[in-house]
Copies of this chain bind each other. A is one copy, B any other.
Amino acid sequence: MLLSKSCEYAIRAALCLASVETVGYTSVREISEALKTPAPFLAKIAQTLTQAGILRALRGPNGGVALARPAGEITLKEIVLAMDGPDIFTECVLGLPGCGHRKPCPLHHEWMPARERIGQMFGAVTLADTAASIRAQDYRLAFTTAD
C-alpha cells in the first residue's frame, strides 16, 4: 500500500479536526469513535503529530488535541512526512539505493513523473481544501454500512 495504516489514520484524524471547526480541543477518544479506529493506536499517532508540530495537545478535562496551525497552512504532504517519512516522494520504485538522475534504474524515467505527480498532489492539498469539500459534499471519513 502507498501509505501506512498510521499515516491513513493520521490524515483522517487531521481532516476530522479540520472539518468539525470546533474552537477548543477534541479528545482522542472522540476522534477514534468518529473514525472507527482503535483509540490507543490513534493516541500514539496523535503524539507523533504533536511532536511534529502539526497538532497541539492539552491534558485534563476539556483537553484533547487541536490543529497547531490554521487548516489552510497544513498540507497532506506534511502529515505523510511526519508519519511515513520522505520515501514515497523520493525513493526508487525498484528500491535501488542512489537511484536518480545521475545513476538511474531502468524504470527511473518512467517512474519519476508518476512519483512527482503524487508529491505535487499531496503538497498542493491542504486540510482546509479537503475539509471544505467534506462539508460541501458530505464525504465520509470512516467506513459506513449505509449506501
- Contact between A8 and B95, CB atoms less than 8 A apart: yes
Q: Which B residues lie within 8 Å of A2 (CB)?
A: 2, 88, 93
**A104 to B137 CA separation, bound complex (whole angstroms):** 10
- Which B residues lie within 8 Å of A140 (CB)? 96, 103, 105-106
Interface residues of A (CB under 8 A from B): 1-3, 5, 8, 11-12, 15, 76, 87-88, 91, 93-98, 103-108, 110-111, 113-114, 117-118, 121, 125, 130, 133-134, 137, 139-143, 147
Tell me the bound Cα distance from A86 to B75 in angstroms.
28
Chain B residues with Cβ under 8 A from A142's Cβ? 96
Within 8 Å CB of A147, what residues of B?
A: 103
A120: nearest residue on chain B (CB-CB)? B114
For A139, list chain B residues within 8 Å (CB).
104-106, 108
Q: From residue A35, how far is it (CB to closest CB) to chain B in Å?
A: 10
Complex contact B93–A110 (CB within 8 A): no
User: Across the interface, do A87 and B1 meet the contact criterion of CB distance under 8 Å?
Assistant: yes
Query: Bound state CA distance, A65 and B121, in angstroms?
Result: 41
Q: Are B143 and A97 within 8 A (Cβ)?
A: yes
**Which residue from chain B places its CB closest to the CB of A12 in the assembled complex?**
B94
